[in-house]
Structure 1
């Protein structure tokens, strides 16, 4: 042991720019798919002062195995994989790299929206099979349509600008958002479901909003609505969504996140032509990888600096 303080990364790597910021700490990697037992064992071995969360969950058992732990920093913006109540009870700060992957995720949401509206994957498959559907296929024109956004943080607002630039009417629900740009009309959740031609989710997952997009919500949507989710899979009742897609109530769904990840196989969505899937890679770009790593590292250092000041006060 070096005698230096340790930071555990629940992943196999971290951007070089982040590691440079963390050069005064010993960085220990938990691997690509760390389980709770793995993290508990590493914490008992190294007693880290900080954890950067990339994959897996960090709960009370992990925290109790690390008595020196001061900060849990998310490599990204969503902190639902961290037990925040347990952390608060133990005086451990939880931080997120807010906005670090906003551009990447907003672009993924736009890609999924366009793929749904323009039948990109379906037409691609038909073309490769030798078909020419020009005389029979009509795509959806998004100009003039209403996009309803649930969540208006950094990602939601960036996506809203993209939709506004395409001539879409943008409505949004977020009880915590303030000073919204003029092109976003704030509404309640019921209005989102009722008025939207397309719905895109951009909010964190909480106990209160779990499966918010459920059978009753889908039933009051416009028939043929498009659903996009690049946030958290737990926001959607997957069985209800599948039923709505099969009935035509939802014309197409573009999904980048799922209730259980990695997605189990076989899965109810597999083979569904009107559900477009990507493996939660909205925030996985070269630029976002650096931004999230640097953001997570800076959050670690900020909390440790605060702790040092408090210890000497």
Structure 2
């Protein structure tokens, strides 16, 4: 049995570059789909000093099973799967690898935006079925249109730069953002709903904004608005979005995250041609995998070995 302190990864692997940084620790993997019960059992067996969270959630029950736990480090930027109040009460630090996957997620957001505007998946399906819709199809030109970004952190600002380069007018809402470039106009949410031709979500999920894209806010948008979500599924009232897509109030939606993940099958979004789906892989690229792993490992070391890190 190893004499090194244990570190639990709520996943099946970690980038070699991250493992090299964690050579002083016995790294234990929880697997691809860890449940609360399996994490509790693993923590009781190994009593880790640190956790790197990739999949699943970490609540008070898991923390209580690991009395030596000092830091929970997210393999990415969103910490909504970690009970931060429970961690604070137990003196456990919660860290996130902020910005490590910013380029990857921003590119996925742009891909979904373009897929919606250009009917990429609909036309692809039609072409494979033997149709040629040149005479009847009209796509949406994004040049000159207004993109509304909710969240102006590392990801939101990358999306803003790309949209600005395409000739879009960029507005955004983020009460915590400061020193924004001149290309982004800060607005309140009411203005963002009212003025945007397309909306892209890049904010964390909190108790205050859960379901804030709902029937009321979608009705306040321009008819035919495009909606992209590469943040957290809980930001959107899914039945309300489905209704808005079917009515045409939302012309198309590109979604990379869902209220329940993995997405439950069957799901009402399945088979809707104007909803483009991807399985929360916006931050999953070979580069981001390394960046997030290294960022998470460094955050662990900053807590456990502050002088060495």
Q: What range is the shorter-chain TM-score in?
A: over 0.9
1:182 and 2:182 matched: yes
Secondary structure in 2 aligned to 1:170?
Answer: strand
Equivalent position of 1:283 in the other structure: 283
Question: Partners in 1 of 2:100 and 2:148 — Cα distance?
Answer: 23
Gaps of 5+ in 2: none
Partners of 1:34 and 1:118 lie apart in 2 by 38
Instruction: Provide the aligned length of Structure 1 versus Structure 2.
Output: 309
Cα deviation per residue 1:197-229 (whole Å; 9 max; x = unaligned)? 000000000000000100000001000000000
TM superposition score normalised by structure 1:
0.97
CA 1:63/1:258 → structure 2, altered by over 3 Å: closer, same or farther? same
Match of 1:268 in 2: 268
Equivalent residue, structure 2, for 1:78:
78
Give the structure 1 partner of residue 218 of structure 2: 218
Structure 2 distance, partners of 1:307, 1:208, is 37
Q: Residue 307 and residue 45 in structure 1: after superposition, are their counterparts in 2 closer, same or farther (change >3 A)?
A: farther
Separation (CA, whole Å) in 2 of partners of 1:293 and 1:308:
18
1:283-307 superposed Cα distances (whole Å, 9 cap, x missing partner): 0000000000000000000011249
Secondary structure in structure 1 of the residue aligned to 2:305: helix
User: Which 5+ residue runs of structure 1 have no aligned equivalent?
Assistant: none
The equivalences for 1:1-313 within 5 A come to: 1-306=1-306
Q: Distance in 2 between matches of 1:160 and 1:275?
A: 23
TM-score, normalisation: structure 2:
0.99
Runs of 4+ in 1 over 4 A off after TM superposition: none
What is the CA deviation profile of residues 15-41 of structure 1, one whole-angstrom value per residue up to 9, with x for unaligned ones?
Answer: 000000000100000000000010111
- Equivalents in 1 of 2:292, 2:307: separation in Å? 23
| Cα distance between partner residues in 2 of 1:227 and 1:203 | 14
Partner Cα distance (2:198, 2:258) in 1: 19
Structure 2 Cα separation of the partners of residues 293 and 2 of structure 1: 23
Report the alpha carbon displacement of residue 308 of structure 1 after superposing the two structures with TM: 9.7
Question: How far apart, in 2, do the equivalents of 1:234 and 1:96 lie?
Answer: 19
CA 1:308 to 1:166, structure 2 compared with 1: closer, same or farther past 3 Å? Answer: closer
